Every structure is written in structure tokens, then in C-alpha cells.
Structure 1
Amino acid sequence: MKNLYSNTKKTLKLIYDLEKKNLIVILLLSLLVSVVPLLTTYLSQELLNSIVAHQVLNRVMVLLIAFVSFTVGSEIVGQISAIFEQKLQVNLVYKLNKIIMNACGDMKLKDFENSETYNQIERINGQIAFKPSQSLDMTINLMKTMITLIGSIIFLSMWSWKMALLLTLVPLTSIYYYIQIGKREFNIQYQRMEDERESWYLNYILTHDFSFKEVKFYDLKEYIINKFSRIKENFIKQDMDLLYQKSKLSILFEVGVQIIGAIVLFVAITAAYSGTILVGNVVSIIKVTSMIQSSSKGVMTSIYALYNNNLYMEKLFEFIEEFVQIENEEVLITDNAEITDIHDIELKKVSYHYPETQSLALKKVDLTLHAGERVAIVGPNGSGKSTLIKVLTKLYENSEGEILVDGVPLREIGETKYKQQLSVLFQDFVKYELPLQENIGFGDIQNISDTEIMKTCMRELNIDFLDEEDLNQQLGIWFENGRQLSGGQWQKVALARSFFKKASVYILDEPSSALDPISEKEVFDSFYEKTKGKIGIFISHRILAAQNADKIIVMDKGEIVDIGTHAHLMKNCRLYQEMERAESYEEYFAA
């Protein structure tokens, strides 16, 4: 109960911070609505007793008008409250989604390379549309039912405190069991999140175009559906077991409440026959007993749902505390911290290892890059090429050693200022199912409206398969009137995105992996032209593409094996020679 109170308090504070006015109005209206049943019960009792006692008609009419006014007023206030509740829920979901999206945007690459992070995000996103507002609803319902319950008990205690105490016996003993079931339900939901993501992914494989050809060709449909079914059938079994437990507890609760209610009514009716109480009091006792029964059930239901929801809210708070933060850039207060162009980048003994591993992905890398150089990075798979790029672009942090930018340590330069001078094409570039203008403009979001530069980039890369005069054309097939592209065409669009930005350093990771030889030549011609007087870096698995670079870096097992021109490496680097021979054999057999 202490944990329940703590999380409820934090939930209300979160909602108060996001939707202050709506929350205050809802709480005030809810408080007003919660006392109406007690007032109407009292008025009906007095009205009936006045009629039986043949009191003055004016008094009877006043009581009747008051009774009707409170009843009608309660309905009106309830409808007004429902409007504010709906408004709060819509705004709350929108603002919380923005918070989560903003937090995900501020995460580090290492966070997204951790499966637990995905699980955490899925737990939050999967239920953010209703859990927080549901927690508020349950809190308000608990408040209203508690007020009604306490008021009803006090009302009944004025006749018999023993009967009032007897009616609270079943609800009090049921709280523990409801909370235990709620805890078990949450734990099941929490523990199966990994399986939930897998079932979602299996569904995604069969319902999207990216996998259709392989699923169809290899006849994977039955296997995937069977795997999906095994996961979902286990979920159904778990859910039904919980449902049976809740149903049994609800039946026991209902039977116990009704038996005790019948005892109270029997005592009240007996008292009326003996003349101890009036008929109007008996009616009010019947009504109050019913209110205590329904309120008790409401309290149990609210506590159960609130406890279950608050376990979710606890995970939301943990996520917010871990990832939702304003990160201040570390800026050295000197003229050196201001960079408008990058002329040199120097790596000194730079090493990096992935979280949860001890082996180094980069091992004491020493490297200097100068403006005007086109640098190729080659090496076998897993040699550390992409890791080097991720460290260089600050996607990976906490690397050992030092990186200097024009002589200034990178850690003393603001991350935003540094990245403004870089433009990168990643190997696993994104195929945005969005209009062409956004697909290219995302390379430099500040200048996304500069359509002339976009068109120039398209012409430089010979993107003649798209109409440069129609930058609003939809790419991909997820949305209406979308244009499907081949892998090579998508890669050219991604290249245009990286070339769209005016930068000091251009980095391309396998820029021609999906291109034909003619397109590959066009891309590298554009790259060499674009990087005149700049630092140009590209990763390639093809020696043919690398041999024209001013400097070729050969990597293996996280280390730089050799650096030099193509001629130098062909004479002095065994690994480079082996790669060149393998490529020659490949081209020979392909021919």
C-alpha cells in the first residue's frame, strides 16, 4: 500500500505537470459528484419520513425539489467531467508520446544496440496510450468511491456501528488477494515482453513487402505462423489462468458481500417492525447498504487496477529518469571551441570495446586526416572499419585515447557544432517512406527548403529515375501513390542526402554496395568532386574503388595494418595483396 501511494503520488504529479488545469477541474468535479449519492440518500429518507408523518406539504415539496436538483445536477456535472477527462487523456497521450520520442532521439547508439532497451521502449510505447490516463481514472474512481464508502459507513454508523463494521469485513480481507493477483498479472506481462516483440516481428515478416520474396520462395509461411501460434497460445493460457483466478475471487467477494448485506437488512427490517426506526430510515439503510456494497467492490477494482497500472507507471518513471534529460554540451570557453571548418582530425591511441564485452573492437588506432585528402578504408569483415567511423562521428563514446580536431580535443568541442561539419552515409542507410524532398532534405534539416541544391545533387548522381521537378513524390509503398525503388536507387537517394549537406568532412560507408559499375563510377566521380579541399573518407570492400584514393587505410582485427597508396600497399602489405588477388579471381570467374 505504501508503494501504491508513492507511485500514485508520482503519477498525479506527472499529470499535474503536463495537464494542470484539466486535472484540477476534474478533481473538483469528481469531489462534487462523489458526495451527491449521500445527499440524495439523506433527502430521500427525509422525504419519505415527511410523507409518512403527514408533515407540511411545503416541506415535502422543498425536499422533493432539492432531491431532483441534486440528481439532475449530478448528471450534468458528470457529463462536464467526462468532457474534461477526454480532453486530458488526448493531451496526455500526445505529450507523453513526445517525451518518449524525444528521449529516444537523445539516446546513444549503444542504447539501441542493447535488446533490453528495445524491450523497455516496447513496454512503454505499447501501453502509453491508455495506462497513464487509466491510472488517473482509477485514482479518481478510488477517491470517489472512498468518499462514498466512508460517508455511507458514517451514515450507517448513526444507526448501528456494528452493522457498519460488519459490512467492511469482506472488502478489507479482499484487498491483499486482489493486489497479489495484480502483481502476478503485471509480472507475467513484463516477463513476456521479449516474446511479445518476437510475435510482433513474426507478424511483421508476413505482412510487409521487404520479406515477401524470400517467404514465398522458401515457403516459410507455415513455419512462421506456427512459431507465432506457439507464442500466442502460451499468452492465451497465461491470460485465462489469471482470468479464472480473478473470477473465483470476484465470486467469493460478491457472495460474502451479499450475505453480510442480507444480515444488515434483516436487522434493519426487524427494527422497523419493532418500531425502533422509521420506514424512511429502512429505505435509506437499504440504499446505503447497497452503496457500501458497490463502493466496496469499486474500491477493490480500483486498487487492483491502480496497483497493476502503477507497476507500469513505475517502469515509465524509471525510463524517464534514465533517458529523459537535458544534455548540456561541454564547450571550452576559448576561441578554439568555435569551429566553422575542419582541416585536420588526429586520432591518438584510440581504442573502443562494446558494452558487456572485454575484447577491443579498435586497438590503439593512430591516424591523421587532412583536408584535401580522399581516404579509403579497407579490410575484411569485422576488421573495425565501421566501428572506427562510429567513434569518429561520436555515435560511440567513452573510447580510450584522444581525438583532436584542428588541435582541439574533441571532448572540448560541442557535439552539435562538431556534427554540423560532418555528413555521413551509413551502410545501413534508412529508406524513408516519405516524400523525395524529405528523403534528401534530412541530410541538412536546416536547409530542407533549398530545393535547388537538392536538384543539383540529383543531377550530380544521375538520379534520372525520379523527376527532380516533383520533390513531393512519395517514395516507398507504405503510403498512397508511393514509388517503389530498387536497392541501388534507394542507395543513390541516400547518397544525395549525404551530398545535400555542406560539410567539412564527408564519410561514406560502402557507398556502392548496391550499385552497378556505371553507377559506382558516377558516385565516386561525384564524391571526388564534392570533397575537393575537404576531408573525404569512404569504406569499401572493393580494391578497385579504393585504389584511386590519396591514402588507403588497411584494417584487420581492430588495428591499422598499413597506410599508403595503392602502389605502396601492393608492394608492402600482405593483407592488401590477398584482398586484391581475391577480387581479381572474383572478377575473372564473374567474367
Structure 2
Amino acid sequence: MLFLTHVFSGISSSLQTIIAEQFSINIITQLANKLTKVKNLNFFENKDHTIKLNAIHNGLYIRPLNYVSNLFFNLQRIIGLVSLFGILFSISIYLPFIMIFATVPCIFISNHIAKKHSASIDKLQDKKESIQNYLYSGLDNQKNKDNLLFNFMLNFHHKFIENKELYINHFVKIAQKNLMLTIYADILITTLSIALFFLMVFIILSKLIGVGAIAGYIQAFSSTQQQLQDLSFYGKWFFAINKYFENYFCILDYKMPKPETQIKLEEKIHSITFENISFSYPNSKLIFENFNLSLHSDKIYALVGKNASGKTTLIKLLLGFYIPNSGQIIINNKYSLQDLELNSYHQQMSAIFQDFSLYAGYSIDDNLFMQNNITKEQLKQKREILKSFDENFQNCLNDYSNTLFGAQYNGVDFSLGQKQRIATIRAFLKPNHCVVLDEPSSAIDPIMEKEFLDFIFKKSQSKMALIITHRMNSVKQADEIIVLDQGKLIEQGNFETLMKKQGLFYELFLKQQY
């Protein structure tokens, strides 16, 4: 019997691990599927979503195992209770039901306590994240140089201690309150247990049974009580674990804002018009108010202005990453961007962002083409584009095309300038009619910059191109220059026109000549 128990325990443990791992992978898969449907940045910048996603991420590998272990444990208790109830039925048909009804309030009380405790802990999530972020920042590969040079870990250690003490103090208060409620619940459970014990003794004494049978019944009663208390206790933790899955299902059930009917854009984009656009980020002042602008195909636009003039926000609106507070973005003089199926719109768009991303753990070609099956024609196109660059860079990308990117994967890494060139090549490898380039030469050295910008302007011919730059000399080749200041369009025209006007563009251009 002991041998069988030991074998069953081993099988149960292995089964729990396998189920939990499959459960965890399924969570990752479902979240990945959800992310394929996200088409705007509001989803990621929603604070409630951020907290939920962080909670899911932090518990991704432990919570599924907790859930499965708890489930197995409770199933074992239920199976045990069925056999014990069979024994207690022989004393009194009512006793098992009385025990169950007495336990149900205890379970509800325990769950109520767990719910309040979990809600209080959730309110501390921001404070806990600030503590974790201190460690994550110290371990972040992208921040290592700054960390070492500016001694981040030491200089901000006092803030970490302050946040830690604040978090611990709040946590202890919550734990103390939870302890008091738990004590009251335990007193109630103990009182009910004693009352049930005396009830059983009364029932036993009313029957003519031997001493051995009495001992057996008392043992069965005690075991039943213990099993019911275990169900009550672990049921409380089952609720706490369920809170994790509430976050998970809340993310999965989130409905992306959609118009009632979505139009698939099949025609080529030849114009984009901003009509009376007003926009602000959540809890921020307006960036654009009644803003108007028209863009047309076969034109290269340069977008310039002082810092925080709205340039990057403008391209995020143009790409459909945000929905304006009011006004409309009209495509081809007939479609509102909000009515379009964004996938069909994005198929015609390409971009390099100021904070562009390369994906560690994927090959260089994966990063360039962003697809699984790369065709011979695409590889030929890549080789043609690379001819515009110096021989060293060509050889580098050809030699490492199938090598993983990222030192943490024992792969290859690049300088920031090389990464920016890779991201720019990716923007032009993607079939598009409209391309947006946000500071595309910010990391390129001065010797290479002219050739690089010549490449960009050459590849942007016959497209609608919007180039954001602070390099005023580079905009001479643009068909039109758009000048923004504090969210307003204050100047528009070619280089010669704006220089003659001697406005803000003229001022910015002259300041860069010294």
C-alpha cells in the first residue's frame, strides 16, 4: 500500500508539472494571439492594462503551477471526503450534510477575506513595480554603460530604500488587517468544529456500538473535519490564484475599438488629409487643436520644428496608432481613417521610428523582412539596396544574414549607426506607397550622412514620403517643408520659398550654420 501511495504521488507530481507547463504555454499563446489584433498604442499605454500585463508576466511560470497543484489537492480532498461520508452516513444520514452546511459559510468568509486582501495588494502594485524597476534597470543590457558611468545603482539606492520601506509598511498594515480577519474566521470555524464534535458524540452515545467502533467514527469525523478545513483554507488561496487569471481574461476579453463597418483599402494611397484634428495624450494638454494638413503622393515632405512641436505625434496619428479626440484623417478624399481596416492601410505604409526596434533572438534577415518565408526576389531586392552602402556594411549584412541578433543569444551585435541603417533598409524592403522616417540619420556619422540621405531621398521617389529631421541642410531635396511650432502648422513650402520668408525655418537653418 505504501509502495502504491509512493508511486501515485510521483505520477501525480509529474502530471501536475506537465499540465502546468502546457497551461503556461497556452497563456503565452493566447496573449500572443491577442497582441496580433492590437492596432493602436492606447492598449499598451492604458495604465490598467499595464498593471494587469505586469501581473501576468510576473506570475507566468508560478501561477499556473499553483493553480494545478491547488486543483489536484482539492480533488484529492473531495475524493477522500466521499469515502469518509460513507462512514459517517452509517452513524447518521444527516451528519455529513450538517458538516457541509456548516463549512459553506466558512468557505465564503475565507474567500471574502482573500478577496479584500487581494484587492489591497493590487493597490500596492505600483510601489512594488518601482522596487522591481530599480533591479531591472540595473540588469538592463541597454542601460549598462549609463549605469556604470553615472553609478545609477549607488546613487539611486536611497530611493530604492525609501520605496522599499514604504512598500513594506503598507504591506505589513494590510497583512495585520488580514491576520485579524483570519483570526475571527478561525474562531468561528473552531466553534463550529466543537459544536459538530459534540453533536457527533451525542449521536454516537444514542446508539449501541462498541468502543472500537466509537474510536473509528471519531477518527473518521476528525479526518472529515480536517478535509473540510483544508478545502476552506486552500479554497481561499484558490480565489487568490483566480485573481491572476481574472487579469489574464480581462486582457483577452478586451474589445478593440472598431467602427461598425470596416472598409478594406484596396486602392493606392494618393492623399492623406488632416481635417480639424484635435488630439491630446491621456491626462495631458492638447497637442493639436483644429489642425489641418494635406499630403499627396509622389512628394517628399520634410517635417521640421523645435522639440515638442508635435512632429512625432503627427506621424503616430497618420499611421493610425492613435485616434484623434476630434476631427478626421481622410484618405484619398473619401475614407475616414477610423473607418478603414487598419491592416489594409498598414500594408501600404512603412516607417523607421526614432526609437526603432531590432528583435534579439531572431536572424538579421528576420529583422529585415519581418516574415517567415523569404523569397528569392526579396533577397535580390536586399542585395540591390545594399549596393548603395559601403563594402564593409554590405559584407557584414551578407555574412551575418542568418545569424541571430543579440549578444545574449551568442549572436551578433551592431553599432547604433549600423542598427539605424538596418532599420532604414527594412523600411524600404517592405512594399509601400507611403513611408515615414523619423530622424533616420540621427546615429549616422557625418562622413556617411550625405550618402545615406541621398539613398533615402532616392528610394522615396514616387512615394508619399514624410521625413522628420533636425538637420536643416538635409531638407533641401524635399519637395515641401512643413514647419510645426507648438502643434500648429506655421510654414509650408520648398526650401527657397521658406528661406525668402525669413520665418522660423530661416531661423532654425541659420542657427545650424555655426
Residue from 147, 169, 173 that aligns with 1:215: 147
The alignment status of 1:285 with 2:212, answered yes or no, reads no
Alignment of 1:217-232 (within 5 A): 217-232=149-164
Contact persistence 1:349–1:365 (CA under 8 A): yes
The alignment status of 1:458 with 2:383, answered yes or no, reads no
Question: What is the TM-score when the length of structure 1 is the normalising length?
Answer: 0.74
Residue from 466, 482, 501 that aligns with 2:430: 501
Deviation at 1:533, TM superposition (A): 1.8
The alignment status of 1:276 with 2:208, answered yes or no, reads yes
Residue from 110, 128, 132 that aligns with 1:196: 128
The alignment status of 1:387 with 2:319, answered yes or no, reads no
The alignment status of 1:487 with 2:419, answered yes or no, reads no
Alignment of 1:122-133 (within 5 A): 122-131=54-63
1:422 and 1:164, CA in 2 relative to 1: closer, same or farther beyond 3 A? closer
Deviation at 1:579, TM superposition (A): 0.9
1:75 and 1:226, CA in 2 relative to 1: closer, same or farther beyond 3 A? same
- Partner residue in 1 for 2:354: 427
Give 5+ residue unaligned stretches, structure 1.
1-67
Q: Matched residues in 1 for 2:373 and 2:315: separation?
A: 24
- Partner residue in 2 for 1:92: 23
- Partner residue in 2 for 1:101: 32
Alignment of 1:332-351 (within 5 A): 337-339=265-267, 341-351=268-278
Alignment-mate amino acid for residue 403 of structure 2 = Q
1:289 and 1:496, CA in 2 relative to 1: closer, same or farther beyond 3 A? same
Q: Matched residues in 2 for 1:358 and 1:220: separation?
A: 32
Alignment of 1:514-553 (within 5 A): 514-553=443-482
Q: Matched residues in 1 for 2:469 and 2:403: separation?
A: 31
Q: Deviations over 1:104-149 (max 9, x none)?
A: 3433212223333211211233224444564465456445535644
Q: Matched residues in 1 for 2:484 and 2:372: separation?
A: 34
1:173 and 1:409, CA in 2 relative to 1: closer, same or farther beyond 3 A? closer
Contact persistence 1:153–1:164 (CA under 8 A): yes
Deviation at 1:343, TM superposition (A): 3.5
More helix by share: 1
Alignment of 1:266-415 (within 5 A): 276-278=208-210, 281-323=213-255, 330-331=262-263, 337-339=265-267, 341-357=268-284, 359-361=286-288, 363-371=290-298, 373-398=299-324, 400-411=326-337, 413-415=340-342
Alignment-mate amino acid for residue 426 of structure 1 = F
* Aligned length in residues: 505
Question: Which SS does the other structure have where 2:473 is aligned?
Answer: helix
Deviation at 1:526, TM superposition (A): 0.8
RMSD, aligned α-carbons: 3.8
The alignment status of 1:437 with 2:365, answered yes or no, reads yes
1:395 and 1:119, CA in 2 relative to 1: closer, same or farther beyond 3 A? same
Q: Deviations over 1:145-198 (max 9, x none)?
A: 356446635632532578768867974564355234312331233112222322
- Partner residue in 1 for 2:498: 569
Deviation at 1:357, TM superposition (A): 4.3
Deviation at 1:454, TM superposition (A): 3.0
Residue from 166, 176, 179 that aligns with 2:111: 179
- Partner residue in 2 for 1:54: none
Question: What is the TM-score when the length of structure 2 is the normalising length?
Answer: 0.84
- Percent identity, aligned pairs only? 22
Contact persistence 1:378–1:555 (CA under 8 A): yes
Contact persistence 2:277–2:324 (CA under 8 A): no
Deviation at 1:305, TM superposition (A): 1.3
The alignment status of 1:418 with 2:418, answered yes or no, reads no
Deviation at 1:528, TM superposition (A): 1.7
1:478 and 1:247, CA in 2 relative to 1: closer, same or farther beyond 3 A? farther
Give 5+ residue unaligned stretches, structure 2.
none
Q: Deviations over 1:332-353 (max 9, x none)?
A: 6xxxx422x4334344444433
Deviation at 1:203, TM superposition (A): 0.7
- Partner residue in 2 for 1:57: none
Alignment-mate amino acid for residue 211 of structure 1 = K
- Partner residue in 2 for 1:56: none
Alignment-mate amino acid for residue 217 of structure 2 = I
Contact persistence 2:276–2:290 (CA under 8 A): yes
Contact persistence 1:351–1:365 (CA under 8 A): no
Q: Deviations over 1:63-116 (max 9, x none)?
A: xxxxx7xx9888877766666544433222212212222323433212223333
Contact persistence 1:569–1:576 (CA under 8 A): yes
Q: Matched residues in 2 for 1:485 and 1:184: separation?
A: 50
Larger-gyration structure (1/2) = 1
Deviates more, 1:497-506 or 1:446-455: 446-455
Q: Matched residues in 2 for 1:386 and 1:116: separation?
A: 25
Q: Deviations over 1:310-362 (max 9, x none)?
A: 33333333222214799998126xxxx422x4334344444433344462435
Question: Which SS does the other structure have where 2:492 is aligned?
Answer: strand
Deviation at 1:539, TM superposition (A): 0.5
